[in-house]
A and B are shown apart, each in its own frame.
Chain A
Amino acid sequence: MLKFIAKRVLFLIPIMLGVMVIVFAIRAITPGNPVDSLLSEDATEEQRAELTAELGLDQPLPVQFVRYVGDAITGDLGTSYTTKQPVLQELLTRLPISLIVCFGAVAIGVLLGVPLGTLSAVKQYSWTDSVVRILSMVFAATPQFCLGLVLIMVFSVQLHWLPSVGLSGPASFILPMATIGLSSLAQYTRITRSSMLEVIRQDYIRTARAKGQTEFAITTRHALRNAFIPIMSQIGNQVGHQLGGALIVENVFGMPGVGKYIGDAITARNFPAIQGGVLMLALIFTIVNLLVDLSFAFINPRLKSSIMNSKAGPIEKWWKARRKKTADVA
Chain B
Amino acid sequence: MAEHKDTPIVEVENLTVHYETDDGIVEAVNNVSFHIDKGEVLGLVGETGAGKTTIALSLMKLLPVPPSHVVSGTVRLDGQDVGVLNEHHMRRLRGSTVSMIFQDPMTALNPVKYVGDQIAEVILLHDKCSKKDAMLKACEMMKTVGITPERYKEYPHQFSGGMKQRIVIAIALACQPELLIADEPTTALDVTIQAQVLEMMKDLQRERGMAMLMITHDLGIVAEMCDKCAIIYAGEIVEYGTLEHIFDHPLHPYTVGLMESIPSLDKDVERLKPIPGLMIDPTNLPQHCSFCERCARKCARCEQDDPALVEVEPGHWVKCFCAGKEDA
Residues on A lying within 8 angstroms of B by beta carbon are 202-204, 206-214, 222, 225-226, 299-302, 305
Known A214-B91, A300-B112; further 5 A-B contacts with Cβ < 8 A: A209-B94, A212-B90, A212-B94, A212-B95, A212-B122
Question: Is B206 in contact with chain A by the CB < 8 A criterion?
Answer: no
A302 and B94 within 8 A (CB): no
Residues on B lying within 8 angstroms of A by beta carbon are 60, 62, 90-96, 99-100, 102, 104, 107-113, 121-122, 125-126, 155, 157-158, 168, 171-172
Q: How far is the CA of A202 from the CA of B104 in the complex (A)?
A: 11
A204 and B157 within 8 A (CB): no
- Please pick, from A210, A226, A301, A302, the residue contacting B100 in the complex, using a CB distance under 8 A: A210
Q: How far is the CA of A302 from the CA of B159 in the complex (A)?
A: 12
- Please pick, from B62, B90, B111, B158, the residue contacting A204 in the complex, using a CB distance under 8 A: B111
Q: How far is the CA of A297 from the CA of B118 in the complex (A)?
A: 20
Given contacts A203-B102, A209-B62, contact A226 B91 (CB under 8 A): no
Given contacts A212-B126, A214-B91, contact A305 B110 (CB under 8 A): no
- Please pick, from B92, B102, B109, the residue contacting A212 in the complex, using a CB distance under 8 A: B92
B125 and A211 within 8 A (CB): yes
Return A241 CB to nearest CB of chain B, in Å: 28
Residues of chain B lying within 8 A (CB to CB) of residue A209: 62, 94
B107 and A203 within 8 A (CB): yes
Q: How far is the CA of A26 from the CA of B321 in the complex (A)?
A: 88
B94 and A210 within 8 A (CB): yes
Q: How far is the CA of A291 from the CA of B323 in the complex (A)?
A: 70
17 residue pairs A–B, Cβ–Cβ below 8 Å: A204-B110, A204-B111, A206-B62, A206-B102, A207-B171, A208-B121, A210-B95, A210-B100, A210-B102, A211-B125, A211-B171, A212-B93, A213-B121, A213-B125, A214-B91, A225-B112, A302-B111
Chain A residue with Cβ nearest B107: A203
Return B316 CB to nearest CB of chain A, in Å: 33
A207 and B111 within 8 A (CB): no
Q: How far is the CA of A226 from the CA of B111 in the complex (A)?
A: 8
Return A282 CB to nearest CB of chain B, in Å: 32
B109 and A207 within 8 A (CB): yes
Return A204 CB to nearest CB of chain B, in Å: 4
Return A212 CB to nearest CB of chain B, in Å: 4
Chain A residue with Cβ nearest B174: A211
Secondary structure of the A side of the interface?
helix
Residues of chain A lying within 8 A (CB to CB) of residue B168: 207
Q: How far is the CA of A214 from the CA of B90 in the complex (A)?
A: 10
Q: How far is the CA of A214 from the CA of B87 in the complex (A)?
A: 9
Residues of chain B lying within 8 A (CB to CB) of residue A226: 110-112
Return A227 CB to nearest CB of chain B, in Å: 10
Q: How far is the CA of A317 from the CA of B158 in the complex (A)?
A: 27
Given contacts A210-B62, A211-B121, contact A301 B157 (CB under 8 A): yes
A300 and B95 within 8 A (CB): no
Q: How far is the CA of A301 from the CA of B92 in the complex (A)?
A: 31
Residues of chain B lying within 8 A (CB to CB) of residue A214: 91
Q: How far is the CA of A204 from the CA of B106 in the complex (A)?
A: 9
B112 and A301 within 8 A (CB): yes
Q: How far is the CA of A211 from the CA of B91 in the complex (A)?
A: 8
Q: How far is the CA of A325 from the CA of B104 in the complex (A)?
A: 50
Return B289 CB to nearest CB of chain A, in Å: 34
Q: How far is the CA of A305 from the CA of B110 in the complex (A)?
A: 16
Residues of chain B lying within 8 A (CB to CB) of residue A203: 102, 104, 107-108
Chain A residue with Cβ nearest B100: A210
Residues of chain A lying within 8 A (CB to CB) of residue B95: 210-212
Return A75 CB to nearest CB of chain B, in Å: 41
Residues of chain A lying within 8 A (CB to CB) of residue B112: 225-226, 299-301
Q: How far is the CA of A301 from the CA of B113 in the complex (A)?
A: 8
Chain B residue with Cβ nearest A202: B107
